[in-house]
Amino acid sequence: MKPLRITGRFDAMPPPADWREQLAMLAGGKPRRISLWTELGLYGALSCMAQAGEACLPPGAALWLGSRRGTHVATVSVIAQLRDELPMPLSFLQTQPSQSLAILGAQLGWVGSACFVAGGSPAALLQLATARMGEAGVLLGWVDDMDGGSSHWLRLYPEAGDGGRAASEPNAAHPMVDGIWSDLGAGRVKC
């Protein structure tokens, strides 16, 4: 597995009471017509990018998102609607995790490769993400909306190669790799 460098990290479990206000500031406005799960993802991704000191995700970077429950709430709601009527279009779209990838990409001003992994573990998500990682690295998130919500994000670059920023400007502000990312493996990740 490729060695990695973390240039940004953000963890909220649960997010602070004013997280929606923080999200509105980061996003330049209050996001509308998106699910709580997507909101939490957006909040964490934008916070992580800010922590990494990057305004935009570069085109060659990849976005990987994982979740234990993902769109569960939206899916249960739409199945209930289906007994008598078609779902509202936006309600249906909220059952599709790929919509969150699209919303994240649009908010980050980015067009590129993005993938959602349903269930499993953060370590497995990282393995898949880094197997295809290019010099622009990955933005990696693990988001859930139950138990008060959680949003965990890492901005990662390959440690070797000519990634420029990754090699020359590591961000030392984030803590050690721990919490849900504790399985990432000592010796592989540099802070």
Partner 1 sequence: MKPVYLADFGLACSLGRGKPEVLAGLRQRSQPVATRHLPGMMGGDFPYHAIPGSAGDWNERARELVRRVSEEAGGGLIRNSPLFIATSSFDIGAAERGEADIAYDLFAAKVADWLAWTGPVHVISTACTSSLNALLAAHALLASGEVEDALVLGIELDNRLTLAGFAALQLLSTTTSQPFGLHRDGLVLGEAVAALRLTTGAASRWRLLGGAHVVDGTQPTGATPSAVVAMHRQALAAAGLGAGEIDLIKVQAAGSPVNDGVEAQGLREVYADMPPLVSLKASVGHAMGASGAVELALLACCLDADAAWPACRDALDEALGVTLATVRPEGVRRVMATILGFGGSHASVVLERT
Q: Which residues bind partner 1 (CB under 8 A)?
A: 1, 63, 67-70, 72, 75-76, 78-79, 82-89, 92-93, 95-99, 101-107, 111-120, 124, 127-128, 131-132
* Least Cβ distance, residue 116 to partner 1 (angstroms): 5
Give the integer Cα–Cα distance in Å for 88 and 31. Answer: 19
Which residue number, 7 or 107, has a Cβ lying nearer to partner 1?
Answer: 107
* Least Cβ distance, residue 102 to partner 1 (angstroms): 4
Q: Which helix (H) or strand (E) holds 56?
A: none
Which residue number, 19 or 116, has a Cβ lying nearer to partner 1?
Answer: 116
CA distances from 166 to 3, 8, 17, 90, 114 (A): 12, 11, 33, 39, 21
Alpha carbon 173 to its chain's center: 19
* Least Cβ distance, residue 69 to partner 1 (angstroms): 7
Placement of tokens 């406005």 in the chain? 29
* Least Cβ distance, residue 5 to partner 1 (angstroms): 19
Contact 10, 155 (CB under 8 A): no
Which residue number, 126 or 189, has a Cβ lying nearer to partner 1?
Answer: 126
Which residue number, 93 or 154, has a Cβ lying nearer to partner 1?
Answer: 93
- Quick one: which of 109, 122, 2, 27 has its CA closest to 67? 122
